[in-house]
Amino acid sequence: MSAAIRTENLSRKFGVVQALRGIDLEVPENAIYALVGPNGAGKTTAIKVLMNILEPSGGRAEVMGLDSRKIAGDAFTAIGYVSENQEMPDWMTVDRFFNYLRPFYPNWNADLENEMRKLFDLPRERKLRHLSRGMKMKAALASSLAYRPRLIVLDEPFGGLDPLVRDQLIEAILERAAEATVFISSHDLAEIESFASHVGYLENGRLLFSEEMTALNQRFREVEVTLGNTAAVPQKTPPSWMQVNVSGSVARFTESSFDAQRTNAEIRNVFGEVRTAEFTPMSLRAIFLAMAKAAETARKGQAV
């Protein structure tokens, strides 16, 4: 499968601050790819490099086969880009905004435009400055979908929106997803989990994993082990075990590389014979928190 987005050792510095650290990323065509991570992880910086708003400090990025540094002009007729802090001509009415944009896009579809405007109930004569944040995001998304882009790039589109508006935006995205690649950054993990096909986790400018959502869900488990006797936290555990905690005769940890046979064997190797071992699938939010806690523990360990 060819890639809509590919980066190789991509880096970006702001003075002495390393915002992106050697990212190798591949987003398959027609995927709905979610880039997640805590505030300051580098998600927006990565998107700005891909959209040629920022130049990379090192490495390279390709967007639909084109070097990101050449993304300009006609290239944007195939890319729909919506940012959390979208700049819009606030003095324009909704009607004038769409009239202004239409000539720039050869593939602009008037029927689709009208469909989007009806779906989002956009007020034709109201100025953009007088729209709510939710309505502005609807106008931005509608204007970015009306020309049927091959790539839809969304930077934190759901922040601060009420659930109904989020559902409407997601519905519109999913309707277009069959004919486009979607690349989205978001903290709204529950929403992302409901429709993303792939996910990447960015932490402190590093891409810690990038994979299909189904594979991620299969390899993460919350594990609870009932031991035969009271025990202490073992000094050595497998590297895939995260946040190991022992309380009395119960051990709990997150397994980041679950395989029933291997994980059971490792439990017996660490704890000896046990009474029970339970493995519970994890939500994306739970996985996100486990990764963040593990990273925080590692940072504290390095600081000691």
DSSP-derived letter for residue 89 is: -
pTM above 0.75, yes or no: yes
pLDDT tens digits for range 18-69: 999 999 999 999 999 999 988 888 999 999 999 999 999 999 999 999 999 9
Report the pLDDT value the prediction gives residue 162, as an integer from 0 to 100. 78
Report the pLDDT value the prediction gives residue 211, as an integer from 0 to 100. 93
Q: Which candidate, 34, 40, 90, 62, places its Cα nearest to that of 216?
A: 34
| Confidence tier at 230 by pLDDT (50, 70, 90) | confident
Report the pLDDT value the prediction gives residue 168, as an integer from 0 to 100. 81
Token pair for 219:
């390899």
- 3 φ/ψ angles, rounded to the nearest 5 degrees: -105, 135
Least confident segment among 77-86, 94-103, 210-219, 290-299: 290-299
- Look at the chain and count its residues: 304
Report the pLDDT value the prediction gives residue 303, as an integer from 0 to 100. 55
Report the pLDDT value the prediction gives residue 188, as an integer from 0 to 100. 73
**pLDDT value at 160 more than 80:** no
Question: Looking at per-residue confidence, does 284 or 9 come out higher?
Answer: 9
Question: Looking at per-residue confidence, does 150 or 161 come out higher?
Answer: 150
Q: Where are any strands of DSSP class E within 84-220?
A: 151-155, 181-185, 198-203, 206-212
Report the pLDDT value the prediction gives residue 1, as an integer from 0 to 100. 52
Burial status of residue 195 (CB atoms within 10 A of its CB: 0-12, 13-18, 19 or more) = middle
**pLDDT value at 77 more than 80:** yes
**pLDDT value at 222 more than 70:** yes
**pLDDT value at 137 more than 80:** yes
Average pLDDT, the chain: 90
pLDDT tens digits for range 90-123: 999 999 999 999 999 999 999 999 998 998 899 9
Q: What average pLDDT does the segment 231-255 reach?
A: 92
User: Is the domain defined by 3-216 classed in CATH 3.40.50.300?
Assistant: yes
Report the pLDDT value the prediction gives residue 301, as an integer from 0 to 100. 65
Least confident segment among 40-44, 172-176, 177-181: 172-176
Question: Looking at per-residue confidence, does 172 or 12 come out higher?
Answer: 12
Burial status of residue 212 (CB atoms within 10 A of its CB: 0-12, 13-18, 19 or more) = middle
* Element spanning 71, H or E: none
**pLDDT value at 297 more than 80:** no
Report the pLDDT value the prediction gives residue 159, as an integer from 0 to 100. 72
